[in-house]
Amino acid sequence: MNSSAIAAGVACYVIWGFVPLVFQAIGRQGVSAWEILAHRTIWATPVALVFVLLARQWPQVVAVMRDVKVLRLLCLSAALIACNWCVYIWAVNSGRLLETSLGYYITPLINMATGALFFRERITGLGKIAVGLATVGVVIQTAALGHVPLVSLVLGISFGAYGLVRKQVAAEAQTGLFIECLILSVPGLAYMFWLESQGASHLTASPVTATWLVAAGPITAVPLLLFAWAARRIPLSLMGFLQFIAPTIAFVIGLSQGEAFTPMRALSFAFIWAGAGAFVYGAWTKGRTLPRPA
Protein backbone atom coordinates (compact mmCIF):
# COMPACT_ATOMS: atom_id res chain seq x y z
CA MET A 1 0.00 0.00 0.00
CA ASN A 2 1.22 3.53 -0.84
CA SER A 3 2.69 4.82 2.43
CA SER A 4 3.01 8.37 1.04
CA ALA A 5 -0.71 8.42 0.20
CA ILE A 6 -1.59 7.16 3.69
CA ALA A 7 0.61 9.87 5.20
CA ALA A 8 -1.12 12.49 3.01
CA GLY A 9 -4.55 11.21 4.06
CA VAL A 10 -3.66 11.28 7.75
CA ALA A 11 -2.08 14.74 7.38
CA CYS A 12 -5.16 16.29 5.76
CA TYR A 13 -7.49 15.04 8.50
CA VAL A 14 -5.06 16.01 11.28
CA ILE A 15 -4.88 19.54 9.82
CA TRP A 16 -8.69 19.70 9.67
CA GLY A 17 -8.83 18.45 13.25
CA PHE A 18 -6.62 21.27 14.57
CA VAL A 19 -8.02 24.02 12.30
CA PRO A 20 -10.45 25.15 15.07
CA LEU A 21 -7.44 26.37 17.07
CA VAL A 22 -6.44 28.59 14.14
CA PHE A 23 -9.90 30.13 13.81
CA GLN A 24 -10.09 30.60 17.57
CA ALA A 25 -6.74 32.41 17.48
CA ILE A 26 -8.07 34.70 14.73
CA GLY A 27 -11.34 35.19 16.61
CA ARG A 28 -9.46 36.31 19.70
CA GLN A 29 -8.14 39.21 17.60
CA GLY A 30 -11.75 40.43 17.35
CA VAL A 31 -12.30 39.19 13.79
CA SER A 32 -15.87 38.13 12.96
CA ALA A 33 -16.80 34.86 11.25
CA TRP A 34 -17.73 36.77 8.08
CA GLU A 35 -14.37 38.52 7.89
CA ILE A 36 -12.50 35.26 8.52
CA LEU A 37 -14.55 33.63 5.74
CA ALA A 38 -13.74 36.49 3.36
CA HIS A 39 -10.00 36.19 3.98
CA ARG A 40 -10.18 32.41 3.82
CA THR A 41 -11.54 32.56 0.26
CA ILE A 42 -9.31 35.45 -0.84
CA TRP A 43 -6.01 33.92 0.28
CA ALA A 44 -6.96 30.37 -0.71
CA THR A 45 -7.36 31.50 -4.35
CA PRO A 46 -3.65 32.07 -5.19
CA VAL A 47 -2.72 28.86 -3.36
CA ALA A 48 -5.34 26.93 -5.37
CA LEU A 49 -3.97 28.56 -8.55
CA VAL A 50 -0.49 27.23 -7.75
CA PHE A 51 -1.96 23.72 -7.41
CA VAL A 52 -3.70 24.09 -10.79
CA LEU A 53 -0.47 25.19 -12.48
CA LEU A 54 1.56 22.39 -10.86
CA ALA A 55 -1.03 19.86 -12.09
CA ARG A 56 -0.99 21.52 -15.54
CA GLN A 57 -4.75 21.94 -15.45
CA TRP A 58 -5.00 25.53 -16.71
CA PRO A 59 -6.52 24.37 -20.05
CA GLN A 60 -9.23 22.64 -18.01
CA VAL A 61 -9.85 25.85 -16.06
CA VAL A 62 -10.35 27.73 -19.34
CA ALA A 63 -12.69 25.01 -20.62
CA VAL A 64 -14.77 25.07 -17.43
CA MET A 65 -15.02 28.87 -17.51
CA ARG A 66 -16.61 28.55 -20.97
CA ASP A 67 -19.08 25.85 -19.90
CA VAL A 68 -22.15 27.56 -18.42
CA LYS A 69 -23.61 24.34 -17.01
CA VAL A 70 -20.44 23.41 -15.11
CA LEU A 71 -20.02 27.00 -13.91
CA ARG A 72 -23.55 26.97 -12.48
CA LEU A 73 -22.79 23.76 -10.58
CA LEU A 74 -19.56 25.27 -9.22
CA CYS A 75 -21.43 28.42 -8.15
CA LEU A 76 -23.84 26.18 -6.23
CA SER A 77 -21.01 24.12 -4.68
CA ALA A 78 -19.19 27.36 -3.77
CA ALA A 79 -22.31 28.64 -1.98
CA LEU A 80 -22.68 25.35 -0.09
CA ILE A 81 -19.05 25.23 1.05
CA ALA A 82 -19.20 28.92 2.04
CA CYS A 83 -22.24 28.14 4.20
CA ASN A 84 -20.35 25.21 5.74
CA TRP A 85 -17.23 27.26 6.40
CA CYS A 86 -19.07 30.24 7.91
CA VAL A 87 -21.16 28.11 10.30
CA TYR A 88 -18.04 26.17 11.28
CA ILE A 89 -15.98 29.31 11.97
CA TRP A 90 -18.81 30.82 14.00
CA ALA A 91 -19.35 27.59 15.96
CA VAL A 92 -15.71 27.03 16.96
CA ASN A 93 -15.57 30.63 18.24
CA SER A 94 -18.84 30.23 20.16
CA GLY A 95 -17.90 27.25 22.33
CA ARG A 96 -19.67 24.71 20.11
CA LEU A 97 -16.79 22.45 19.10
CA LEU A 98 -18.63 19.34 20.28
CA GLU A 99 -21.50 20.21 17.96
CA THR A 100 -19.10 20.61 15.02
CA SER A 101 -17.58 17.23 15.92
CA LEU A 102 -21.03 15.64 15.85
CA GLY A 103 -21.71 17.25 12.47
CA TYR A 104 -18.63 15.73 10.87
CA TYR A 105 -19.23 12.33 12.47
CA ILE A 106 -22.61 12.14 10.75
CA THR A 107 -21.40 13.57 7.41
CA PRO A 108 -20.33 10.21 5.89
CA LEU A 109 -23.67 8.73 6.94
CA ILE A 110 -25.47 11.64 5.25
CA ASN A 111 -23.34 10.98 2.17
CA MET A 112 -24.47 7.37 2.23
CA ALA A 113 -28.13 8.43 2.43
CA THR A 114 -27.81 10.98 -0.39
CA GLY A 115 -26.02 8.41 -2.55
CA ALA A 116 -28.96 6.06 -2.13
CA LEU A 117 -31.51 8.82 -2.73
CA PHE A 118 -29.96 10.53 -5.75
CA PHE A 119 -27.74 7.86 -7.34
CA ARG A 120 -29.63 4.72 -6.33
CA GLU A 121 -26.58 3.40 -4.53
CA ARG A 122 -27.43 0.34 -2.47
CA ILE A 123 -27.22 0.70 1.32
CA THR A 124 -26.14 -2.54 2.98
CA GLY A 125 -27.62 -3.88 6.19
CA LEU A 126 -24.68 -2.42 8.11
CA GLY A 127 -25.22 0.89 6.39
CA LYS A 128 -28.86 0.99 7.50
CA ILE A 129 -27.78 0.16 11.05
CA ALA A 130 -25.18 2.97 10.91
CA VAL A 131 -27.74 5.53 9.70
CA GLY A 132 -30.25 4.33 12.32
CA LEU A 133 -27.75 4.62 15.16
CA ALA A 134 -26.71 8.10 14.03
CA THR A 135 -30.36 9.18 13.85
CA VAL A 136 -30.93 8.01 17.43
CA GLY A 137 -27.76 9.88 18.46
CA VAL A 138 -29.04 13.13 16.92
CA VAL A 139 -32.43 12.70 18.66
CA ILE A 140 -30.71 12.18 22.02
CA GLN A 141 -28.46 15.18 21.35
CA THR A 142 -31.60 17.24 20.73
CA ALA A 143 -32.96 16.19 24.12
CA ALA A 144 -29.60 16.87 25.81
CA LEU A 145 -29.29 20.39 24.36
CA GLY A 146 -32.96 21.26 24.67
CA HIS A 147 -33.05 22.22 21.00
CA VAL A 148 -32.29 20.69 17.61
CA PRO A 149 -28.47 20.60 17.07
CA LEU A 150 -28.68 22.95 14.09
CA VAL A 151 -24.91 23.48 13.91
CA SER A 152 -24.32 19.74 13.54
CA LEU A 153 -27.10 19.29 11.00
CA VAL A 154 -26.15 22.34 8.90
CA LEU A 155 -22.50 21.24 8.79
CA GLY A 156 -23.38 17.64 7.89
CA ILE A 157 -26.08 18.48 5.34
CA SER A 158 -24.17 21.34 3.66
CA PHE A 159 -21.03 19.24 3.28
CA GLY A 160 -23.08 16.26 2.08
CA ALA A 161 -24.86 18.48 -0.46
CA TYR A 162 -21.47 19.92 -1.50
CA GLY A 163 -20.20 16.41 -2.21
CA LEU A 164 -23.39 15.64 -4.13
CA VAL A 165 -22.95 18.68 -6.38
CA ARG A 166 -19.20 18.16 -6.89
CA LYS A 167 -19.88 14.57 -7.90
CA GLN A 168 -21.66 15.99 -10.95
CA VAL A 169 -18.94 18.51 -11.87
CA ALA A 170 -16.82 17.43 -14.83
CA ALA A 171 -13.56 18.87 -13.46
CA GLU A 172 -10.57 17.73 -11.43
CA ALA A 173 -10.39 18.58 -7.73
CA GLN A 174 -7.72 21.29 -8.17
CA THR A 175 -9.64 22.98 -10.98
CA GLY A 176 -12.93 22.89 -9.08
CA LEU A 177 -11.34 24.24 -5.89
CA PHE A 178 -9.66 27.11 -7.75
CA ILE A 179 -12.87 28.19 -9.51
CA GLU A 180 -14.88 27.90 -6.27
CA CYS A 181 -12.34 30.10 -4.47
CA LEU A 182 -12.35 32.52 -7.41
CA ILE A 183 -16.15 32.78 -7.23
CA LEU A 184 -16.15 33.31 -3.47
CA SER A 185 -13.25 35.77 -3.54
CA VAL A 186 -15.41 38.31 -5.44
CA PRO A 187 -17.85 38.94 -2.53
CA GLY A 188 -14.91 38.35 -0.18
CA LEU A 189 -12.91 41.20 -1.72
CA ALA A 190 -15.98 43.44 -1.82
CA TYR A 191 -16.60 42.81 1.88
CA MET A 192 -12.92 43.37 2.74
CA PHE A 193 -12.83 46.72 0.89
CA TRP A 194 -16.09 47.76 2.57
CA LEU A 195 -14.59 46.99 5.98
CA GLU A 196 -11.51 49.02 5.03
CA SER A 197 -13.72 51.97 4.02
CA GLN A 198 -15.47 51.77 7.39
CA GLY A 199 -12.20 51.55 9.30
CA ALA A 200 -13.31 48.16 10.66
CA SER A 201 -10.89 45.87 8.83
CA HIS A 202 -8.52 43.77 10.93
CA LEU A 203 -6.05 43.09 8.10
CA THR A 204 -4.14 46.27 8.90
CA ALA A 205 -4.80 46.15 12.66
CA SER A 206 -1.52 44.43 13.49
CA PRO A 207 1.13 42.22 11.85
CA VAL A 208 0.01 39.27 14.01
CA THR A 209 -3.62 39.53 12.90
CA ALA A 210 -2.60 40.01 9.26
CA THR A 211 -0.41 36.88 9.42
CA TRP A 212 -3.25 34.80 10.84
CA LEU A 213 -5.70 36.05 8.20
CA VAL A 214 -3.34 35.37 5.30
CA ALA A 215 -2.53 31.92 6.75
CA ALA A 216 -6.24 31.02 6.49
CA GLY A 217 -5.69 30.61 2.73
CA PRO A 218 -3.12 27.80 2.69
CA ILE A 219 -4.76 26.23 5.75
CA THR A 220 -7.88 25.94 3.59
CA ALA A 221 -6.29 24.78 0.33
CA VAL A 222 -3.44 22.47 1.44
CA PRO A 223 -5.54 19.80 3.24
CA LEU A 224 -7.97 19.73 0.30
CA LEU A 225 -5.07 19.00 -2.05
CA LEU A 226 -3.71 16.30 0.28
CA PHE A 227 -7.19 14.76 0.46
CA ALA A 228 -7.63 14.73 -3.33
CA TRP A 229 -4.19 13.19 -3.85
CA ALA A 230 -4.63 10.51 -1.18
CA ALA A 231 -8.19 9.55 -2.14
CA ARG A 232 -7.01 8.44 -5.60
CA ARG A 233 -4.27 6.18 -4.22
CA ILE A 234 -5.57 4.33 -1.15
CA PRO A 235 -8.60 2.07 -0.68
CA LEU A 236 -12.00 3.57 0.10
CA SER A 237 -12.17 1.49 3.27
CA LEU A 238 -9.04 3.19 4.65
CA MET A 239 -10.28 6.67 3.72
CA GLY A 240 -13.53 5.77 5.48
CA PHE A 241 -11.55 5.15 8.64
CA LEU A 242 -9.29 8.19 8.32
CA GLN A 243 -12.17 10.66 7.93
CA PHE A 244 -13.10 10.25 11.60
CA ILE A 245 -9.69 11.59 12.72
CA ALA A 246 -10.73 15.25 12.34
CA PRO A 247 -13.97 15.18 14.39
CA THR A 248 -12.21 13.09 17.05
CA ILE A 249 -9.50 15.75 17.43
CA ALA A 250 -12.17 18.47 17.54
CA PHE A 251 -14.06 16.47 20.16
CA VAL A 252 -10.97 16.23 22.39
CA ILE A 253 -10.24 19.95 21.95
CA GLY A 254 -13.85 20.78 22.87
CA LEU A 255 -13.60 18.69 26.04
CA SER A 256 -10.23 20.21 26.96
CA GLN A 257 -11.74 23.69 26.63
CA GLY A 258 -14.44 22.83 29.14
CA GLU A 259 -17.50 22.47 26.93
CA ALA A 260 -20.46 20.88 28.73
CA PHE A 261 -20.50 17.09 28.34
CA THR A 262 -23.49 15.79 30.25
CA PRO A 263 -24.42 12.09 30.53
CA MET A 264 -27.12 12.65 27.87
CA ARG A 265 -24.60 14.15 25.46
CA ALA A 266 -22.24 11.25 26.21
CA LEU A 267 -25.05 8.81 25.36
CA SER A 268 -25.74 10.63 22.09
CA PHE A 269 -22.08 10.42 21.10
CA ALA A 270 -22.07 6.72 22.03
CA PHE A 271 -24.77 6.13 19.43
CA ILE A 272 -22.94 8.32 16.88
CA TRP A 273 -19.68 6.44 17.47
CA ALA A 274 -21.49 3.11 17.14
CA GLY A 275 -22.91 4.30 13.82
CA ALA A 276 -19.46 5.46 12.71
CA GLY A 277 -18.01 2.08 13.72
CA ALA A 278 -20.65 0.25 11.68
CA PHE A 279 -19.89 2.53 8.73
CA VAL A 280 -16.12 1.89 8.96
CA TYR A 281 -16.60 -1.86 9.28
CA GLY A 282 -18.94 -1.87 6.29
CA ALA A 283 -16.46 0.14 4.21
CA TRP A 284 -13.63 -2.17 5.28
CA THR A 285 -15.47 -5.36 4.34
CA LYS A 286 -16.52 -3.80 1.04
CA GLY A 287 -12.97 -2.59 0.38
CA ARG A 288 -11.61 -6.13 0.83
CA THR A 289 -13.62 -7.24 -2.21
CA LEU A 290 -12.42 -4.38 -4.43
CA PRO A 291 -9.14 -4.34 -6.41
CA ARG A 292 -6.44 -2.03 -5.07
CA PRO A 293 -6.01 1.24 -6.96
CA ALA A 294 -3.04 1.32 -9.32
pTM above 0.75, yes or no: yes
197: Cα within 13 Å, side-chain hemisphere? 6
Exposure letters 51-74 (e unless 16+ CB within 10 A, then b):
bbeebebeebbeebeeeeebeebb
Lowest-confidence segment of 1-5, 80-84, 101-105, 179-183 by average pLDDT: 1-5
Locate the DSSP E strands across 145-253: none
Tens of pLDDT, residues 119-158? 777 777 777 888 888 889 888 988 888 888 899 999 989 9
Is pLDDT at 240 greater than 70 in this prediction? Answer: no
What are the start-end ranges of the H helices in 55-172?
A: 58-65, 68-92, 97-119, 125-145, 150-166
Tens of pLDDT, residues 83-124? 999 999 999 999 999 999 998 888 877 877 777 777 777 777
Cβ within 8 Å of residue 110, ≥6 positions away:
156, 157, 159, 160
